[in-house]
Every structure is written in structure tokens, then in C-alpha cells.
Amino acid sequence: MIQLLPMALVGGGVATGVNLYRRTRSKRVQRHLWLLPDQARLETDQSTASPLATAKATLKQVDDAYQGYVRAQIDPLFGAARMQQLEEMGVQGERMVLSSTEKQLNRNIAISLVVVATAVAAGQAMVPIVLICFPLALYISRPILQRAHHSVVHERRLTTSVVASVNAIATWVGGFYVAGGLGFVLYYLAEKLIYITEDNSRQRLANIFDQQPRFVWALIDGTEVEIPFAQLQVGDTMVIGAGQMIPVDGVITAGYGSIDQHRLTGEAQPAEKTVGDPVLAATMMLAGKIYVQVEKAGKATAAAQIGEILNNTAGYQMAIDSRAMKVVNASLAPKLAAAGLAWLLVSLEGAVAVTNASFGYNIRLTGPLAMLNYLNLAARRGILIKDGRSLEMLNEIDTVVFDKTGTLTLEQPQVAQIHLFNGSQAETVLALAAAVEARQSHPIACAIVAAAQAQDLPLPDFNDSRYQAGYGLTAWIEERLIHVGSERFMELEAIDLPEEVHVLQAAAHAQGHSLVMVALDDQLAGVIELQPTLRPEAKAVIAELHNRNIAVTIISGDQEAPTRILAETLGVDHYFANTLPDDKAGHVARLQSEGRSVCFVGDGINDAIALKQAKVSISLRGATTVATDTAQIVLMDTTLQQLPALFTLAGQFNANINTGFAVAIVPAFIVTGGVFLANMGLMGSLFMYNVSLLAGVGVAMQPLLTLRAADDE
């Protein structure tokens, strides 16, 4: 029975009563307040407001307790491992909190359940359902009605909100509160699942400013003074020592330094810089001490400009709907047309039955559920997929582009060879260098120490180790002076270098290798040659990608020779060297313009724009914050080992979704035919819908059942 009259009476009576009470109460309070002194008026004002304030405070406490319960007890059921990984990727381990959107979804689910329970209880107690359920029904319908209005009036298109609003109006008007409440539980549960599978964490894509120090050392009137970073002006002179991050762009006015800038420029080896050389923000001083005249600070630096470009670059996933939602949206117009025809030819209940028919609509619930299960399966394997749509798009990838430094190679190089001079022995040269470098933490020092440890070489004791004004260390060992450092450092210390050393330096530079020279007293004892360390899994991973008919390209900011050698070693046909950050994204865009579907794998600030440009973006845990924030997928074990497994998982997900589509669509045709041919009602439609839904849920849960069986074995 259609209950329009009771609803109108209830709604009109409530509205009239509320307005009359407000006017009467306002006049009475104002009349009494004129007779009281100011303080008494204030106290009376507070007392009249206290019942409402108390009610609001109580509701807030109840809501906070409910949201806390959902966060602690319910949300982990959607994937505790993935939740933990998302929290680990937050700034300084910051624990993610529920957003206002997710809180409202939780409230709507709870109120929908209240509608169902109230309708059942009111029916048993012979109480008019409309008096209790209608206000709650309006509350949970309001967001859908608002979105439907926006879709029709502003976007001029049909969406799930439009169909849901039509279904809601018909359901409430028809008095089907139990069925309507259950429908809204499923609707908002689907909304929550969709929200969880998308990347809704706080975006910190360009927050490289968090790395800026609060205080810096500046040279003022010839004296080194510590000042707040915010007071630093263009033209000031900063003092930067070993181990410090350079926070500005500028030029060196005095001193010498070895600077690691691979995360910004992609250069594998530290750059040796002296007076007149430029330095860049977000790079690291490894050794030495420099005085830098500030040219750019804050948002004007090159690193900040990358962040600005990044914020202004539209991410590929922003324009992507998941495939499940595409199918749902395509079925909306036929469903509404069939429902309208059923209303004319059969009945209102028949029309509601048709709107409840799936036509793939329950894939809106089972699709995100399947996606969430695969995201959790990936999390169990050490793969954090922040946005589920990227798992869908992996099936379309035909080209994987790797950044070179830090992605295909490790940050720490390895000792390739030791060149000997003046009758020295390799073990002696390596042991002396390792002893002097043992207390340093930069990658080259760690590589030398690791090589000595691998040979079980005893390290001699030393004293008076210190940085000189250059690129190296000096120390006294058994009353002999040891120098360990670069070619320029040796020249500054007046240590004679034979012509062979200059030839070695040129050859090493061409190959992307580094040379560390070791001198004993005033004579060169040896030269340690270090080469980039290839990730042990890189060759096998690229071979697996080739087996899947996926093309592989390397992009690097490093020089041509080392990039070419790496490509040849890994069996990669295409590479780009000497590439600036903007150009990396340009190479990705050119590949896309040629019809390629590109996945980019990178780890540096200089990779962020390319990561955002690509269809799918992957980074490694431990990479720069900008890279891991930009990437849709993060390999949590800090290696490339799981990359082939990720593509396998994407293929399995695609097959699961295809099965889910078939299960979702077939019952809809049965319901529609039943309405027109057999006068099927709402309960029959709900029965078929729930059968289809249960079957779809079974398909969606299949990956977790498989995982559980594997764990049991």
C-alpha cells in the first residue's frame, strides 16, 4: 500500500511543530532576558542552550565510540596487512585516521541497519512504521539524492546515484522499509569497499619541504652563526658540512665537497665540487665543507619546481573508472527504461523489482570486494597496491620503463678492482682504506669496508682521523700518514700522480665507475675502482618480463656509457641517458603517443613526474618520499623480486572479474522476464538478486580461499 498521505501528514506536522516551538521559545527567552542584568542574561543564554549542547556532546561521544570500534574491530577485516603497510608508508609512521567521508559511510551503514531493525520491530508491535522509519529513511537517502541531482543537473549523465535515488523514492513511497533498509546497507557497504580500494590517503606528493632544516649555519660578517632557515635570504652565504642535506640552490664560494645528487639528477657517482660549481637543494654532502651563496630557496629551488610540476600534472588514474563501475554505468539507462515500462504495464512493485534487478549492478559490490581481496593477497606477498585501479590496468601494460640508479642498481657500489703503485699489495691498500673509512656512513665508504670484511682483512688502528679541505680523509697509522680520497684531494695534498692514474680516471668516468686513491706518506699506494652494484634479481626480472612479451626500456640521468653497459648486461634494447627529470616524463609521454601502455618503475625525486605520467607507477620501499607517495604500487621488500608476481596477480584478478560479470548479469534477465511474463514481485526480485549476490561474493572470495588452502599445506 502506498503511504503518501501518512508521510505527508508526518512530515508536515513535524515541520510545523518544530517551527512553532522555535518561534515561541525564541520570543519567551528574549522577553525574559530584557528583565535581567548582563551577567544573568549570559548565564540564562548558556542554560537555555545546554540541553541542545548536551545532546550534541552525547551524540558525538556515541559517534566517536562507534567510529573507534569500526576502526579497531571492523576495518581490519578488510585487510589488516594492507592497512599496516599503508600506515608504514605515512610520514614518520603517522597513523592514518578515518576521513570525514569514511566516517559518514560508517554512519549510513549503521542507520540503514537501524531502519531494518525498526521496521521489523514496529511491524511486530503494530506501530505505524512510517512514523519511525520515514525520518531515518530520509537521512540515509539525502546523500544519494544530492549526488543524483548533481549528476543530472550539472554533469548531464546517468550514474549509480540516479538509479539508487529512483529506487529509494519508489521503495519508501511503497512502504518497503525492510527491503529498502537492506538495499541501503548493501549500497553503502559497496561505497565503503570502493573507498577502501582507492588511494584516499593524504597526499604528500610534493612535500619535500619537510626535509628542510629548522636552523642552518650562515656566514655573517666573517663569523659562522646559526639562524632559522626561514630567515635565509638570496645572497646570504650558507655553511654546509659532511652528512648534511643541502637545502638551497646556489654556488660554492669557498671549500670543496663530495655531493650525492643521484636522487635529484640520477647520477650514480658522487659529484666532486669546488669554488664556482653549482649545488642543488635536496642533495647530500658526503664529505668536505663548502660555503654556498644562496641563489634560490624554498619554492624557487629546482627540487621544489619538480614538486610544483608534479602537483600540476594530472595523474592517469584520475580519469579512470574501475571496469566494474563502467559495466554498472552502461546498464543504468536500460534499467531505468525497463523499470518505467514495468510501472506502466505491470505495477509500481514491478517497477521497483526491475530497479532491484542486477544488470551487473551487484558487481558494484562484488567487484570492489574481489579487488580488495587481491589487494590483501598482494599485501601478504609484500606488495602495497594503494589504488586498486592500477591492478586492473596492469593487464594492459606492454612496456615497462625502469629508472637506472637506485632501481636497477643498489645505492652502495662494489669494489671492482684495485690498481697498485710503488710496490704495494692489494690487501694492504684495501685494509688501510677500510680502516680510515670505517667510521664513515656514505655508500663508497661502506663498499670499501664491506670488501675488506669479505676478505677477513684485519683493520689497523689509527688516530687523528679528520677531513681535510678537499675530498678525502687523513689518518695516522703506525706513525705513517695515510691519505684516502679523490684525484683532486691527492693533488691538493701535493702527492705525485703518475700519468697512468689520469688514464684510469678517464676510463672510469666513461664507464660510470668511481676511483678512491690511497697514499702512504707522500706516495700513491693504490687506486680502488668501484662500480655500480646491479640488483641481484634485476636480470631474472627483466627476462621474465620479456617472456610475457613486455618491452623494457631504461631511462637514466647518468651518462651514456654506463647506461649503455647496464642495458647490454640486462639484455635491454632501448635506453635513454643524460635525461633530465622533465625529459623522463616526456619519454613516457612519447611512448604513450606511439600507442604503448607504460608502467614506470623509479625511486627518486627526479622520477616523480614520470611516475605520475605513466599508466601504472611502481616504487620501492626506502625510496624518496616523493617517489613512494606518487607511485600507485610500492614493493615493500625493497627489491624488484615481486614484480613478475604482481603481473601474475593482475592476470588472475582479470579472470576473476570476468567470472563475476557473468554471475552478476544473468539473473537480471531472469528477473526482468519474470516481472513482465509472470508478474514477479519485489520479493522474487530480491531473492534472485541475493542469489546472484551470494554467487558473486563466492567468486570474489575465491583468491582468499586459495591462499588459505596453500597456507594449510
Let me know if residue 438 belongs to a domain.
yes
Q: What is the domain-level CATH number for residue 450? A: 3.40.1110.10
Sign of the Cα torsion 533, 536, 539, 545 reads negative
Mean of per-residue pLDDT scores for the chain = 78
Give 12 or 331, the one with higher predicted confidence. Answer: 331
589 pLDDT higher than 80: yes
Give 441 or 453, the one with higher predicted confidence. Answer: 453
Q: What is the pLDDT of residues 301-314, one digit of tens each?
A: 766 666 665 555 44
Report the share of the chain in percent with pLDDT over 90. Answer: 20
Domain end position, chosen among 276, 291, 311: 311
CA nearest to 638, candidates 598, 601, 584: 601
Out of 198-212, 342-356, 569-583, 596-610, least confident range: 198-212
Instruction: Count the Cβ atoms, other than its own, within 10 Å of residue 654.
Output: 16
pLDDT the model gives residue 461: 79
pLDDT the model gives residue 529: 94
pLDDT the model gives residue 46: 47
SS3 call for 78? helix
Give the whole-angstrom CA distance, residue 690 versus residue 675: 17
pLDDT the model gives residue 336: 77
The phi, psi pair for 488, rounded to 5°, reads -65, -35
490 pLDDT higher than 70: yes
pLDDT the model gives residue 465: 54
- Rounded mean pLDDT, 557-581: 86
Give the whole-angstrom CA distance, residue 704 versus residue 372: 10
307 and 413 inside one domain: no
Let me know if residue 433 belongs to a domain.
yes
pLDDT-derived band at 430 (thresholds 50, 70, 90) equals very high
Give 57 or 314, the one with higher predicted confidence. Answer: 57
pLDDT the model gives residue 210: 47
Let me know if residue 656 belongs to a domain.
no
Give the whole-angstrom CA distance, residue 701 versus residue 370: 6
- Pairing type for strands 399-403 and 598-601 reads parallel
Domain end position, chosen among 534, 562, 577: 534
Give the whole-angstrom CA distance, residue 582 versus residue 592: 16
Domain end position, chosen among 266, 283, 311: 311
Give pTM, 2 decimals: 0.66
Out of 107-111, 330-334, 509-513, 708-712, least confident range: 708-712
pLDDT the model gives residue 425: 93
Let me know if residue 657 belongs to a domain.
no
529 and 419 inside one domain: yes
pLDDT-derived band at 264 (thresholds 50, 70, 90) equals low
Torsion of CA 491, 494, 499, 504, to 10 degrees: -40
492 pLDDT higher than 70: yes
Let me know if residue 457 belongs to a domain.
yes
- Rounded mean pLDDT, 547-565: 89
Taking a C-beta distance cutoff of 8 angstroms, is the pair 610, 555 a contact? yes
CA nearest to 541, candidates 554, 531, 560: 554
Let me know if residue 514 belongs to a domain.
yes
Out of 388-397, 438-447, 496-505, least confident range: 438-447
Out of 76-85, 249-258, 438-447, least confident range: 76-85
Let me know if residue 286 belongs to a domain.
yes
pLDDT the model gives residue 28: 46
Out of 257-261, 469-473, 568-572, 608-612, least confident range: 469-473
Which runs of E-coded beta strand occur in 229-376? Answer: 237-241, 245-246, 249-260, 271-273, 278-279, 283-296
In the block, which residue shows the cell 684495485? 418
299 and 413 inside one domain: no
CA nearest to 227, candidates 216, 239, 213: 216
Q: What is the pLDDT of residues 627-658, one digit of tens each?
A: 777 888 989 888 999 999 999 999 999 898 88
Q: How far is CA 465 from the centre of its chain?
A: 43
Sorted by sequence, the CB contacts under 8 Å of residue 634 that are 6+ apart come out as 85, 89, 383, 384, 386, 618, 619, 620, 621, 628
232 pLDDT higher than 80: yes
Give 129 or 67, the one with higher predicted confidence. Answer: 67
Tally of domains in the chain:
2
pLDDT-derived band at 88 (thresholds 50, 70, 90) equals low
Taking a C-beta distance cutoff of 8 angstroms, is the pair 178, 120 a contact? yes
The residue count of the chain comes to 713
pLDDT the model gives residue 305: 64
Read off the C-alpha cell for 141: 537517502
Count CA within 13 A, CB hemisphere, residue 464: 10
Q: What is the pLDDT of residues 208-230, one digit of tens each?
A: 444 567 788 898 888 888 888 88
For 104, 255, 373, 377, 425, the CA distances from 81, given in Å and listed in that order, are 24, 49, 11, 9, 52
Most confident among 188-202, 362-376, 609-623 (mean pLDDT)? 609-623
371 pLDDT higher than 90: no
42 pLDDT higher than 80: no
- Angle of helix 160-173 relative to helix 323-345, nearest 10 degrees, comes to 40
Q: What is the domain-level CATH number for residue 287? A: 2.70.150.10
422 and 528 inside one domain: yes
SS3 call for 86? helix
Give the whole-angstrom CA distance, residue 522 versus residue 678: 103
Let me know if residue 421 belongs to a domain.
yes
SS3 call for 463? strand
- Domain coverage including residue 267: 213-311
Out of 2-16, 482-496, 583-597, least confident range: 2-16
Give the whole-angstrom CA distance, residue 645 versus residue 634: 13
Q: What is the pLDDT of residues 448-468, one digit of tens each?
A: 999 999 999 998 877 655 555
